[in-house]
Structure 1
Amino acid sequence: MNQEIVENIVLLVIVTLISVLQNMSFAYKVENESKNQQSKTFQRTGSPAFEKVYTANQNCTDAYPTFLAVMWCGGVLCSQAPAAFAGLMYLFVRQKYFVGYLGEKTQSTPGYIFGKRIIFFLFAMSLAGILNYYFVIFFGNDLKDHMSVFSKILSSLLLIP
């Protein structure tokens, strides 16, 4: 494999693999709670604890493809490091959402809102990368270095609650 290509995506691959481990952890929690029920088969309904775990897992699963798409697009088209950082932040927030959902439902709200902000940031990075691509085609000017610096500065702002 071409070393230059690997250097441009290695952080995104690492975040993706961490997210897979997180998904497996969530699925394990659903399976474990399902086994605590008296039924021998997997059901979508059951005890309130099972329904909370199942719903939290389903909510995280629903947003997962969008997260992966914008993280990879932002990382490949704009800048890898800020996209990977935002991806790690998203995984942290998703964990906070999952755990918060298992408690009071109001505890999951900050994780949900923060997750939306990170998805928007990654979407904006993707859009900037696409615009830069067409800017190079039509005007011959590549702004990728400027966008990389700008996205690194903005990614640090993601830490502000």
Structure 2
Amino acid sequence: MDTCNIVENIYLLAIITALSVLQNVFFALKVDKECTSHNAHATAVQRVCCANRNCVDSYPTFMAVMWCAGVCLNQAPAAFAGLLYLVVRHKYFIGYMGQTSQSTPGYLFGKRILFFLVLMCLIGILNYLLTRYFGSDYRETVETFTSAASTLLLIP
């Protein structure tokens, strides 16, 4: 397998990873701005810090399942779900800055996206094991199903 072929299989995941890093920088700048503001209220600082901490806590899980789903199964639906997760995480962060109740829809939607990515990981690993030990390859069928199912993530 040459380098060009490897990059073709992961470039969407790399783009989403780069976007997530930029988003983390944005969150850190927001926290820094809120903490150094002259008219900072203690509750606003606490909300921003808590939102940032919650996003940072879920970040390794998101990265692991997105990359596992993309490499083990199909990068396109995994990257699409990753992009949706970044949008939802941004909505969660901004909602948490206002009132904590405004962040609930983003939190619930993010959980659903993570569940989809975990499911993709498990299916990809199961398909690999079936192919390796039983000679039954369902990759094409599963890729078609996950590509179609990823659009269902848009339904609130």
TM-score bracket for the superposition, by shorter chain length: over 0.9
Measured in 2, the distance between the counterparts of 1:156 and 1:73 equals: 19
- Corresponding residue to 1:72 among 63, 67, 80: 67
TM-score (norm 2): 0.96
Kept in 2, the 8 Å contact 1:79–1:147? The answer is no
Identity within the alignment, %: 56
1:131 equivalent in alignment to 2:126: yes
* Aligned positions of 1:9-158 closer than 5 A: 9-37=10-38, 47-158=42-153
- Distance in 2 between the 1:19 and 1:143 partners? 31
Which 4+ runs in 1 deviate beyond 2 A?
Answer: none
In the TM superposition, residue 138 of structure 1 has moved relative to its aligned partner by 1.6
SS of 2:59's partner is: helix
Q: Matched residues in 1 for 2:7 and 2:137: separation?
A: 22
1:45-94 CA distances to partner (integer Å, 9 max, x unpaired)? Answer: x7111111110000000000000000000000011000000000000000
Aligned-partner residue type, residue 29 of structure 1? K
Conserved in 2, the CA contact under 8 Å of 1:37 and 1:47?
A: no
Which piece of structure 1 moves more, 80-89 or 133-142?
Answer: 133-142
| Equivalent position amino acid for 2:124 in 1 | G
Distance, in Å, in 2 between the alignment partners of 1:28 and 1:143 is 45
* Matched letter for residue 67 of structure 1: F
For residues 143 and 49 of structure 2, what CA distance do their matches in structure 1 show? 39
Query: Per-residue deviation at 1:27?
Result: 0.3
**Matched AA of 1:7:** E
Taking only aligned residues, the RMSD between alpha carbons, in angstroms, comes to 1.4
User: Where does structure 1 lack aligned partners over 5 or more consecutive residues?
Assistant: 39-45
SS in 2 for 1:142: coil
Quote the Cα distance in structure 2 between the aligned partners of 1:134 and 1:37. 58
Q: Which residue is 1:42 aligned to?
A: none
- Distance (Å, rounded) in 1 between the aligned partners of 2:100 and 2:10: 36
Unpaired segments ≥5 residues, structure 2: none
What is the distance in 2 between the residues matched to 1:101 and 1:138? 48
Partners of 1:22 and 1:147 in 2: how far apart? 31
Q: CA deviation at 1:37?
A: 4.8
